[in-house]
C-alpha cells in the first residue's frame, strides 16, 4: 500500500533507521532483562556501526541518493542525501559513538554522572541521534520540524538526568529555549507555506513566491523566523544563552554531544533551509544581500563574543561552551555566502571542529574524573598534565590546536583556510576582517589552556595516576587518531563533503 505511494530504499534510510531501531531494542531489552546492564553499550555500538556502515551505500548510489519519492508527476523526493548531508551524518553517527564510549553505560562511571540507568541514557542518545541523522536529509517542512525536535528533546532529557549540581535548572533553561525556538520555527513554517503554497523546500516554489510582492514579503518574514529558530540550535549569538548553562551542569560526554552531534544536526537543518534560497541570491539581488548581511552579522557576533568570554573562563566546560559559540560563528560565516562551495566549506569546517572538540571533551572527561572533588572543574586541574599523562596531554593539545587552527594540527589550519575562502571570494571584507581578528582571539583562548597543560606540575600536587574507563580510553584514542590522520591527509575531510 505504502509502496504505491512512495518508493522506499531502506539502505539509504539506514543511517536514520539503525539508531532508531537501536533505541527501541535497548528499551525492549531493558524490559525483558533488567539485569543485563552490560549489553546496552554493545547493542548501541552495533546500531551506530550499522548506520555508519550504510553510509558508503549513499556514496555509491546516484548523487544525491534519494528515497521516499512521491510518484510522478510531482516526483519530489522527501529524503535526499547530498555529499554535505553525508558528511554531517558521518559526524553525527561517529560523534554519538564516541559520546557513548565516553559515557560507558553499564559501568559504575555512568551511574556517577547520570541518573536513570544505562538503558534510558543509551536510548535517549540513540533517539536524538536518529533525529539528528534525519535532519540533513529532510526535504519537507513537517519532517524537518519533527527531526529538529527529535534531535533536541532527548538531549534536553540527558541534561536533566545529569547528576551535576543544578542540572534541573540547566535543563529547564534549555527546555524553555527549545520551546521558544519551536514556536519560532512553527510560525516560520506556517508563513513559508503561506508564501509558497508548498510544504517542501523547493527552489521552484520559492522563485514563484518571489515574483509576487506580497508573498515575497511573507517569505522573507518566514526566513527570518526560521533563521532565528535554527540559530538557537546552533547556539549562535544572540540565541546562545542556554549553552554555558547546560555545559556547566552536564557531564562532559553530554556536553560533547550538544557541542558536536547537536550542532551538526543544526547545521544540517540550516543548510536544508538555505538551499532553496540560492535563487534569491543572484547578482545584485537585494534579498541575497540582506540574507548575507543577517547571517554574516550573526557569525561576527558569535565568534567575537564567544572568544572574548572564553578568554576569561576558568571552568574548562564553560570555556568550551563559549568556544562552541565562537565556532558556530565560524560555521555560519562561509554559509552566509549561499553557494555550493560555501555549503561544503561550512560542513567541512564543522567536521574538523567536531573531531577537535571530541578529542578535547574526551580528555576533559578523563582529567575531571581523576581530579579530587569532582564538583570542581578548573583549568588548574590540568597543571603538569604533559608530565603526568603525556599521551592525554598530546591528544588534548592536538584537539585544542585543531580548534585554534595551528600546526601541528594541520587540519585545523586547513579548516580556517576553507572557511575563509568563500568569504574572501564574495568580497565581504568586513567579515574577513572580523574573522582575522577572531583567528587571533581564538589562538589566545586555546593557548591559555595549553599553557596550563605544559606548565611544570606543582610538586605538592602529587602524581596521582588517572584511572580511565576502557570506553573512555577508546574514545580518546579514536579522537586523537582522527586528528592525526586528518592532519596528514586533510583532503579526506573536505573531499567527502563536496
* Binding stretches for other proteins (CB under 8 A): 387, 390, 394, 401, 406-408, 410, 413-414, 416-418, 420-421, 424-425, 432, 435-437, 439-440, 443-444, 447, 451, 454, 489-491, 494-495, 498
Give Cα separations from 473 to 38, 425, 468 (angstroms). Answer: 18, 42, 6
**CB nearer other proteins, residue 9 or residue 425:** 425
In angstroms, give the least distance from the CB of 259 to other proteins. Answer: 24
Contact 466, 382 (CB under 8 A): no
Element (H, E) at 79: strand 77-81
Going through 364-446 in order, the beta strands assigned E by DSSP cover none
- DSSP states of 305-343: HHHHHHTT--SHHHHHHHHHHHHHHHHHHHHTT-SHHHH
**CB nearer other proteins, residue 444 or residue 481:** 444
How far apart, in whole angstroms, are the C-alpha atoms of residue 463 and residue 457?
Answer: 9
Q: Show contacts of 467-472: CB within 8 Å, 24+ apart.
A: 467/370, 468/366, 468/369, 469/104, 469/107, 469/109, 469/369, 470/104, 471/41, 471/100, 471/101, 471/102, 471/103, 471/104, 471/107, 472/101, 472/102, 472/104, 472/109, 472/362, 472/365, 472/366, 472/369
**CB nearer other proteins, residue 203 or residue 489:** 489
**CB nearer other proteins, residue 473 or residue 498:** 498
In angstroms, give the least distance from the CB of 292 to other proteins. Answer: 16
Collapsing DSSP states into helix, strand and coil, what is residue 78? strand
**CB nearer other proteins, residue 34 or residue 407:** 407
Looking from the CA of 268 toward its CB, the CA atoms found within 13 Å total 37
In angstroms, give the least distance from the CB of 387 to other proteins. Answer: 7
Q: Count the neighbouring beta carbons within 10 Å of the beta carbon of residue 398.
A: 25
In angstroms, give the least distance from the CB of 396 to other proteins. Answer: 14
**CB nearer other proteins, residue 186 or residue 432:** 432
How far apart, in whole angstroms, are the C-alpha atoms of residue 313 and residue 317?
Answer: 9
In angstroms, give the least distance from the CB of 482 to other proteins. Answer: 16
**CB nearer other proteins, residue 94 or residue 401:** 401
In angstroms, give the least distance from the CB of 436 to other proteins. Answer: 4
How far apart, in whole angstroms, are the C-alpha atoms of residue 493 and residue 483?
Answer: 10
What's the CA dihedral at 176, 182, 183, 187 to 10 degrees?
Answer: 170
In angstroms, give the least distance from the CB of 293 to other proteins. Answer: 20
**CB nearer other proteins, residue 290 or residue 339:** 339
In angstroms, give the least distance from the CB of 55 to other proteins. Answer: 17
How far apart, in whole angstroms, are the C-alpha atoms of residue 220 and residue 294?
Answer: 12
In angstroms, give the least distance from the CB of 53 to other proteins. Answer: 23
**CB nearer other proteins, residue 21 or residue 417:** 417
How far apart, in whole angstroms, are the C-alpha atoms of residue 485 and residue 474?
Answer: 16
Amino acid at each position: 500500500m505504502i509502496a504505491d505511494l512512495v518508493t522506499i530504499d531502506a539502505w539509504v534510510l539506514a543511517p536514520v533507521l539503525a539508531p532508531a531501531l537501536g533505541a527501541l531494542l535497548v528499551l525492549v531489552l531493558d524490559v525483558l532483562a533488567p539485569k543485563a546492564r552490560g549489553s546496552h553499550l554493545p547493542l548501541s555500538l552495533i546500531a551506530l556501526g550499522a548506520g555508519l556502515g550504510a553510509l558508503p551505500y549513499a556514496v555509491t548510489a546516484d548523487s544525491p541518493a534519494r528515497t521516499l519519492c512521491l510518484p510522478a508527476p510531482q516526483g519530489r523526493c522527501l529524503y535526499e542525501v547530498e555529499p554535505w548531508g553525508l558528511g554531517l551524518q558521518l559526524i553525527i553517527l561517529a560523534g554519538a559513538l564516541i559520546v557513548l564510549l565516553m559515557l560507558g553505560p553499564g559501568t559504575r562511571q555512568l551511574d556517577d554522572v547520570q541518573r536513570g540507568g544505562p538503558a534510558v541514557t543509551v536510548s535517549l542518545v540513540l533517539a536524538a541521534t536518529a533525529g539528528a541523522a534525519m535532519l540533513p536529509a529532510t526535504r519537507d517542512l513537517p519532517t524537518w520540524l519533527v527531526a529538529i525536535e527529535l534531535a533536541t528533546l532527548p538531549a534536553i532529557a540527558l541534561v536533566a538526568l545529569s547528576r551535576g549540581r543544578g542540572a534541573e535548572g540547566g535543563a529547564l533553561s534549555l527546555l524553555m529555549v527549545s520551546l521558544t525556538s519551536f514556536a519560532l520555527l512553527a510560525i516560520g513554517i506556517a508563513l513559508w507555506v503561506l508564501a509558497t503554497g508548498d510544504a517542501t523546500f523547493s527552489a521552484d516554489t520559492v522563485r514563484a513566491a518571489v515574483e509576487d510582492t506580497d508573498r515575497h514579503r511573507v517569505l522573507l518574514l518566514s526566513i527570518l523566523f526560521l533563521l532565528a529558530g535554527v540559530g538557537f540550535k546552533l547556539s549562535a549569538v544572540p540565541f546562545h544563552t542556554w549553552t554555558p548553562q547546560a555545559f556547566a551542569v552536564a557531564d562532559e560526554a553530554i556536553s560533547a554531544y550538544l557541542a558536536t552531534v547537536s550542532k551538526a544536526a543544526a547545521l544540517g537543518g540550516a543548510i536544508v533551509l538555505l538551499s532553496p534560497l540560492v535563487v534569491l541570491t543572484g547578482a545584485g539581488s537585494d534579498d541575497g544581500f540582506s540574507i548575507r548581511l543577517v547571517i554574516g552579522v550573526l557569525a561576527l557576533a558569535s565568534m567575537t563574543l564567544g572568544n572574548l568570554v572564553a578568554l576569561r573562563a576558568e571552568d574548562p566546560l564553560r570555556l568550551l561552551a563559549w568556544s562552541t559559540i565562537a565556532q558556530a560563528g565560524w560555521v555560519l560565516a562561509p554559509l552566509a555566502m549561499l553557494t555550493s562551495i560555501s555549503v561544503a566549506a561550512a560542513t567541512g569546517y564543522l567536521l574538523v571542529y567536531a573531531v577537535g572538540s571530541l578529542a578535547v571533551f574526551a580528555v576533559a572527561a578523563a582529567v575531571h574524573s581523576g581530579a579530587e572533588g569532582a564538583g570542581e572543574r578548573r583549568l588548574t586541574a590540568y597543571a603538569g598534565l604533559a608530565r603526568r599523562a603525556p599521551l592525554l596531554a598530546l591528544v588534548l593539545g592536538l584537539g585544542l590546536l585543531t580548534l585554534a587552527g595551528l600546526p601541528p594540527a594541520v587540519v585545523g589550519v586547513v579548516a580556517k583556510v576553507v572557511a575563509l575562502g568563500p568569504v574572501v571570494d564574495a568580497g565581504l571584507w568586513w567579515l574577513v576582517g572580523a574573522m582575522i581578528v577572531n583567528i587571533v582571539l581564538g589562538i589566545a583562548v586555546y593557548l591559555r589552556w595549553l599553557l596550563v597543560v605544559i606548565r611544570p606540575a606543582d610538586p605538592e600536587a602529587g602524581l596521582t595516576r588517572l584511572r580511565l574507563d576502557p570506553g573512555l580510553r577508546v574514545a580518546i584514542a579514536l579522537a586523537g587518531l582522527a586528528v592525526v590522520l586528518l592532519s596528514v591527509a586533510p583532503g579526506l575531510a573536505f573531499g567527502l563533503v563536496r
